[in-house]
Amino acid sequence: MTLPSPFFELLHTDPCGARRGRFHTLHGTVETPIFMPVGTAATVKTLSSADLNAVGAQIILGNTYHLFLRPGHAVIAQLGGLHRFMSWSGPILTDSGGYQVFSLGATRRIREEGVTFRSHLDGSALFLSPEIAIQIQEALGSDIMMQLDECPPYPADRSYLVQSLRLSLRWARRSLDARNPAGGQALFGIVQGGMEADLRRESAEGLVEMGFDGYALGGLSVGEPKERMEEVLSYAPGLLPNHQPRYLMGVGKPADLVEAVGAGLDMFDCVLPTRNARNGQLLTQYGPMNIKQARFRDDPQPIDAACGCETCRHYSRAYLHHLFRNKEITGLRLMSLHNLHYYLQLMADMRAAIQQDRFAGFRRDFSSRQSISHD
């Protein structure tokens, strides 16, 4: 029996509320909870698609804003779509471009119709609407598309948040209307509303009424204190249907992922593992370490003796320290491989813990190990 795509199976819920699921897409099945490496410009920085397979990536993220600007979705469509372009045969989630436009700040102008902005590459004037964002994502051929939304800054006035979330709801409706329902590509709605519980509820209820294939929490990890995000995570997942996937956008550090999985979230993305790797910041079971430090100059150990990645199987901290000091590209790739492997292994460990109803213990052990920092 072939399951319809998109289709989410909720396999098990741990007593804590952590969920184990399976999301079926056009390019295969994703075991949740899952972390999605970020492939901004049709590449997860420093890595090839073979590398992504080697570290156990199941699904990756592509940035509509960047691909819209260069090389353009028409070129990618002509070349057979984003999967073929970057030689990645697994599922791809594309964002709507809204977040990148939001982060351009002053140069964007939001109207009912859509958002006008200037390219960060050449300053040319560009326009993105809910319909255009869908059109681009359909041309790219991603497995999961995101609606165009407005991501309000933090902090923001309540009146601004209300207007913004209602605009995002109208854009959600237009996104649903614009998509080709026969295409098989999933479309997710994005819950906004800042840190206000009643506004998050209004946003979630509006979206759920329209009926999306999955729901994301947006507008978090935008500079708010950690406690504010935790507060939102304490109630927002409960506003969403149990039998659909929940995606926490742009989060986060390993400890954030463990907390968010405990709160009932299923999908995550973040540039941290790859960006930190390029800055020499490496993850281990005992917390982060910085390979730049002089004490690693003659350290024969791998980054983490418990890690099974290519980097830890073959190279010492001393070698990575040497490559980093010499600005060798080889080091940036080997460290990116390690950090992504760490994230993906962490998710696999959480999936196993949930399946066996021992997520509470997993979370406790994780916290106590992480407090023994290298730094």
Among 316, 348, 357, 374, the residue binding a second copy under the rule CB under 8 A is 316
Q: Does 310 bind a second copy (CB under 8 A)?
A: yes
Q: Does 45 bind a second copy (CB under 8 A)?
A: yes
Catalytic, 157? Answer: no
**Which CB contacts under 8 angstroms, 24+ apart, belong to 70-73?**
70/41, 70/121, 73/135, 73/136, 73/139, 73/140
Q: CB of residue 108 vs a second copy: minimum separation in angstroms?
A: 22
Q: Does 305 bind a second copy (CB under 8 A)?
A: no
Between 198 and 298, CB nearer to a second copy? 298
Q: CB of residue 304 vs a second copy: minimum separation in angstroms?
A: 17
Give the Cα-Cα-Cα angle 116, 120, 121 (nearest 5 degrees): 120
Q: Tokens 């460990």: give the residue.
A: 349
Q: Does 196 bind a second copy (CB under 8 A)?
A: no
* From 14, 95, 149, 304, the catalytic residue: 95
Between 260 and 337, CB nearer to a second copy? 337
Between 327 and 371, CB nearer to a second copy? 327
Phi, psi of 177 (to 5 degrees): -65, -30
Two tokens at 240? 């969403």
Q: Does 330 bind a second copy (CB under 8 A)?
A: yes
Q: CB of residue 246 vs a second copy: minimum separation in angstroms?
A: 31
Between 85 and 366, CB nearer to a second copy? 85
Taking CB under 8 A as the binding criterion, the range among 2-10, 111-119, 127-135, 318-326 that sits at the site for a second copy is 318-326
* From 14, 143, 256, 269, the catalytic residue: 269
Taking CB under 8 A as the binding criterion, the range among 56-64, 85-93, 157-165, 198-206 that sits at the site for a second copy is 85-93
Among 113, 177, 198, 328, the residue binding a second copy under the rule CB under 8 A is 328
Q: Does 333 bind a second copy (CB under 8 A)?
A: yes
Two tokens at 168? 């995002």
Catalytic, 269? Answer: yes
Between 189 and 331, CB nearer to a second copy? 331
**Site map (CB under 8 A) of a second copy, residues 274-293, x = contact:** --------------------
By CB under 8 A, how many residues form the interface with a second copy?
40
Q: Does 335 bind a second copy (CB under 8 A)?
A: no
Among 10, 11, 26, 41, the residue binding a second copy under the rule CB under 8 A is 41
Interface with a second copy by CB under 8 A: which residues? 41-50, 70-71, 75, 78-80, 85-87, 297-298, 300, 310, 314-316, 318-319, 321-323, 325-326, 328-334
Active site (catalytic) residues:
95, 269
